[in-house]
Amino acid sequence: MKRFLVIALSLLVAGGAMAQDAKKLVVWSFTDELQKMMAYYQKDNPDVKIEFTLVPNDVYQSKLKPVLQSGQGAPDVFSLEAGYVKGYVGSGWMGDLTALANGAGKNTIQYTKDVVTDANGKIHGMSWQATPGAFFYRRSLAKQYLGTDDPVKVQAMIKDLKSFVAVADKLKVASKGSAVMIASTGDLFQVFKSGRKAPWVVNNTLIVDPVMTSLLDTVKLFHDKGYEGRQGQWSEGWFAGMKGTLKDEKSNPISVFGYLLPTWGLPYVLKQNAPDTSGDWAMVQGPIPYFWGGTWLTMYSKSKMKPEAQKLIEYLTTNDKFLTAWAKDTGDFVSKSTVVDAIKGTYSEAYLGGQNHYAQFAEMAKNVSGKVLSGFDQEIETIFQEQMTAYQNGEKDKATAIKDFKEGVSSQFPDLKVN
């Protein structure tokens, strides 16, 4: 997820001083979410001693891998994110949580378990959240240019990629170029990525799914036709589009119709950065079911506290009381379907004009697949997006972009077969 801290923190959450030789559960993470969850766990388990260490995500793996390899100072429980979690599955560092996943976690949304399942069918992690993606759009712009802001009708208009492009063109024509479909072509990446049939690497061979070459065509079209705001994701201009304050190079106002964001995009991106637009948004699936991000918990395979580690993971990912409280306190979309079903009817999100986003996400999560992830994703996707940007900006043609992408992957991973 895009919520990373820039400082490292080591914190004892055991309620008072701890003896030097006291037995304690050591937990590492790159996200402060896990730190906040410890308060819930500690309240229900006051006698458990936990040492929590928060490490910045940009150095997390460089700190984590050496201790897992050596076993010296390794945490009992550690978290992994979507960009690299698959690379740890099959490493031998992640403990076997199959019994937990099939027992207390039997109602956990399936794709979150598929992500951490090895070639032998063993499950090595669990997540408290699911992160299906949606298209969030401005109701006022939908009424003005599409004639309705009704989510059912808007979804029918953008039900597939062809329809999505058609609406982008309609917005441009109807607004005389003052309204764009999205702020950045970068928003399309996660959507297309989830539409693949195969991951980036299969049998040690790079696979360029046709969906990704289609993405190159689509971002080029959006850029050249003026269907996007020509802003980088997470840039000042990208956020300005949410607020309704984006302007072009001639200082003319540009209205951004919508953003492709996952579950966490609502509380942590839209609501935090564009509070004044509350009530003028709605949410639909968009052209392709997708997910974006997520955090998985696992225990170290050589931990001397496996029962305690599994107990913590079980509580944070399967406990009904905790997951219900966490969902209601934070708005996070949790991964246990029975908890989701029990609470989804109680939501009415004022920011979305009263829409029940939780019930919507529950339906979206059913169509998500986690089987297209690989352990090479973070590095390969960085290379691909660099070439995608160069192609859309006219710095190179499509064939050259693809060739340079493959050469970049070969340089980064010389042992991979690249055709």
**Measured between alpha carbons, how far is 192 from 218 in angstroms, rounded to an integer?**
10
Token pair belonging to 186:
């970068």
| Same structural domain, 161 and 108 | no
Q: How far apart are CA 121 and CA 57, in angstroms?
A: 29
Among the listed residues 241, 299, 263, 296, the one whose alpha carbon sits nearest the alpha carbon of residue 108: 296
Sequential pLDDT tens for the chain (419 residues): 434 333 334 444 444 333 333 589 999 999 999 999 999 999 999 999 999 999 999 999 999 999 999 999 999 999 999 999 999 999 999 999 999 999 999 999 999 999 999 999 999 999 999 999 999 999 999 999 999 999 999 999 999 999 999 999 999 999 999 999 999 999 999 999 999 999 999 999 999 999 999 999 999 999 999 999 999 999 999 999 999 999 988 899 999 999 999 999 999 999 999 999 999 999 999 999 999 999 999 999 999 999 999 999 999 999 999 999 999 999 899 999 999 999 999 999 999 999 999 999 999 999 999 889 998 999 999 999 999 999 999 999 999 999 999 999 999 999 999 98
CATH number of domain containing 64:
3.40.190.10
| 24 and 150 both lie in a single domain | no
Q: Distance between CA atoms of 317 and 297, rounded to whole angstroms?
A: 8
Report pLDDT for 22.
Answer: 52
One domain for residues 90 and 162: no
In a shared domain, residues 42 and 153: no
Give the residue numbers spanning the domain of 156: 133-291+372-412
Q: Identify whether residues 287 and 298 lie together within a single domain.
A: no
Query: DSSP for 228-270?
Result: B----TTSHHHHHHHHT--B-TTS-B-EEEEEEEETTHIIIII
Specify if 418 maps to a domain.
no
Same-domain status, 114 and 86 = yes
Beta-carbon contacts of 79 under 8 Å, excluding residues fewer than 6 positions away, are: 28, 29, 30, 31, 34, 295, 296, 297, 298
> Please, are residues 314 and 41 in contact by the beta-carbon 8 Å criterion?
no
Sheet containing 179-182, strands listed edge to edge, beginning at the edge strand earlier in sequence: 179-182, 255-262, 133-138, 281-284
* In a domain? residue 363: no
Joined tokens for residue 149: 């802001």
Give the strand pairing for 25-29 and 50-54: parallel
> Pick from 134, 108, 62: which is nearest to 290 by CA?
134
Residue 362 in any domain: the answer is: no
| Ramachandran quadrant class, 96 (left: phi over 0; alpha: psi -120 to 50; beta: rest) | beta
Q: What is the pLDDT of residue 136?
A: 98
Same domain, 198 and 316: no
- The bridge status of strand 179-182 relative to strand 201-202 is unpaired
Q: Which residue has the tokens 């697949």?
A: 369
CA distance 134 to 351: 15
* Angle ∠(25,28,31) on CA atoms, nearest 5: 135
**Sequence-separated (6 or more) residues with CB below 8 Å from residue 70:** none
Query: Does residue 342 contact residue 67 with C-beta atoms inside 8 Å?
Result: no
Q: How many CB atoms are closer than 10 A to CB 18? A: 14
Domain shared by 258 and 304, yes or no: no
Rounded Cα gap, residues 77 and 95, in angstroms: 10
User: For position 284, what pLDDT does the model report?
Assistant: 98
Same domain membership, residue 301 and residue 281:
no
For the stretch 246-254, contacts whose Cβ atoms lie closer than 8 Å and that sit 24 or more positions apart, written own/partner, are 246/183, 252/178, 253/178, 254/178, 254/179, 254/180, 254/229
Residue 163 placed within a domain: yes
In this structure, are 156 and 301 located in the same domain?
Answer: no
Number of compact structural domains in the chain: 2
Q: Which residues pair with 291 in a beta bridge?
A: 132
**Claim to verify: residue 149 and residue 193 sit in the same structural domain:** yes
Nearest alpha carbon to residue 95 among 73, 118, 72, 111: 118
- In a domain, residue 274? The reply is yes
Whether 248 and 380 map to the same domain: the answer is yes
| Residue 356 CA: distances (Å) to CA of 52, 234, 282, 382 | 35, 26, 10, 35
